[in-house]
Amino acid sequence: MAQLTFREAISRGIAQEMRRDETVLAIGEDIGAAGGVFKGTVGLFEEFGPLRVRDTPISEQAILGAAMGAAMTGLKPIAEIMFSDFFAVCWDIVVNEIAKSRYMTNGQVTFPLVIRSGNGGGLRFGAQHSQSVENWAMMVPGLKVVVPSNALDVIGLMAAAVRDPDPVIFLEAKALYASKMDVPDGDIVDTLGTAKLLRQGSDATLVALGAMVPKALKAAEELATAGINCTVVDVRSLVPLDTATILREVSATGRLFTVEENPRLCGWGGELSSIVSEEIFYDLDGPIVRITTPHIPLPAADALEDMAIPSVQRIVSTVSESMSA
């Protein structure tokens, strides 16, 4: 057992898969000797060398073009796009090439690649470096989308993503890079498409993703002192989505609150709300409530950014007011 930060878990997860399979390689800006801008690839260059840990020019199109070509020829690249905002620069390759080519070749060509990226706000990087883009990715047929919330899940879900035959978008909440937890020794392998039940309650279900998961857990603790006992579900995987777990827990409490960092319009909670309404409408005891970032560019000023992104206090107050209405 070792205590790892979220960023250390990224290195461990990638190294685990590179040791297991020599076709796995890492590619991206400054991921080599520098260990990554967010220090998520520390030690990989020293262990695996420049052929398997490749620094690139500052060109997202070049990174993903090379990763796509490598995957087509039998390698398993893990490509880093430093900030998820920069998907906008190379979105054509992701959406029109990587996501669709297996379908368009009738399975003759597969794309076993992982695209990992720092996602979301909380670090005062401003509107062009703080976007939470999971809703961009989940709408694209052919992509799988994973968003871990802790170091243990980083390692296990990275292993599952690397071993998957399809392209996986692996979004790392930048606000969680320094968070720590105890992680068992040895290989860790998880399963895509599985949500995780973190807390059991009887009054309401909080469904959260990424950096919002620890906030939802903290809010549930505060709500419990006021007599409101909440279940907390970590979504972890948006595509595939573990609807069975989520529907079961919402049905048990009769109330659903989504906690989302993404802007409200077209966020993942809207899709989840639709599924819940269609599948278990008559199990609900009140309206579905979404706790989100407003539909605005994220401010850089600390007070304004804190106001925009869902906080523990906003979760507590929203749930309390809704439950007492």
Domain ranges for the chain: 2-183, 196-324
Same fold, 2-183 and 196-324: yes
Q: Which two tokens stand for residue 92?
A: 């054509």
Mean pLDDT for the stretch of residues 202-216: 98
What is the overall mean pLDDT for the chain?
Answer: 97
Q: Tell me which residue of 82, 27, 76 sits closest to 56, measured CA to CA.
A: 27
Q: Which two tokens stand for residue 160?
A: 């599952």
Q: Which two tokens stand for residue 159?
A: 């292993």
Residues 225 and 239: their CA atoms lie apart, in Å, by 35
What's the pLDDT at 299?
A: 96
Catalytic residue among 76, 129, 196, 290: 129
Q: Cis bond leading into 57, ω under 30°?
A: no
pLDDT surpassing 90 at residue 24: yes
Cα dihedral across residues 188, 193, 266, 320: positive or negative: negative
Mean pLDDT for the stretch of residues 76-85: 98
Residues 241 and 222: their CA atoms lie apart, in Å, by 28
Q: Which two tokens stand for residue 317?
A: 């107050």
Task: Provide, rounded to the nearest whole percent, the portion of the chain with pLDDT above 90.
Answer: 99
217 contacts 198 by C-beta, under 8 angstroms: yes
Domain 196-324, classified CATH 3.40.50.920, yes or no: yes
What's the pLDDT at 126?
A: 96
CATH annotation of 2-183 = 3.40.50.970
Cα dihedral across residues 286, 203, 248, 166: positive or negative: positive
What's the pLDDT at 1?
A: 87
Helix (H) or strand (E) holding 232: strand 230-234
Mean pLDDT for the stretch of residues 175-192: 97
Q: Which two tokens stand for residue 69?
A: 């070509």
Provide the b/e sequence for 301-324 (b: ≥16 CB within 10 Å).
eeeebeebbbbbebbbebbbebbe
Q: Is 197 exposed, middle or buried (0-12, 13-18, 19+ CB in 10 A)?
A: middle
pLDDT surpassing 80 at residue 325: no
Residue pointed to by tokens 């993703």: 209
Q: Tell me which residue of 233, 145, 124, 170 sits closest to 9, measured CA to CA.
A: 170
Q: Which two tokens stand for residue 240?
A: 């595939």
132 contacts 87 by C-beta, under 8 angstroms: no
pLDDT surpassing 90 at residue 198: yes
pLDDT digits (tens, 9 = 90+) for 234-293: 999 999 999 999 999 999 999 999 999 999 999 999 999 999 999 999 999 999 999 999
Residues 105 and 191: their CA atoms lie apart, in Å, by 27
Residues 83 and 188: their CA atoms lie apart, in Å, by 26
Taking CA 83 as the corner, what is the angle to CA 63 and CA 67, rounded to the nearest 5 degrees? Answer: 20
**Beta 196-199 vs 230-234: how paired, if at all?**
antiparallel
Q: What is the pTM of this model?
A: 0.97
Sheet holding 237-239, edge to edge: 53-55, 24-28, 76-83, 114-119, 168-173, 144-146, 237-239
Query: What residues form DSSP beta bridges with 4?
Result: 181
Is 295 tagged catalytic?
Answer: no
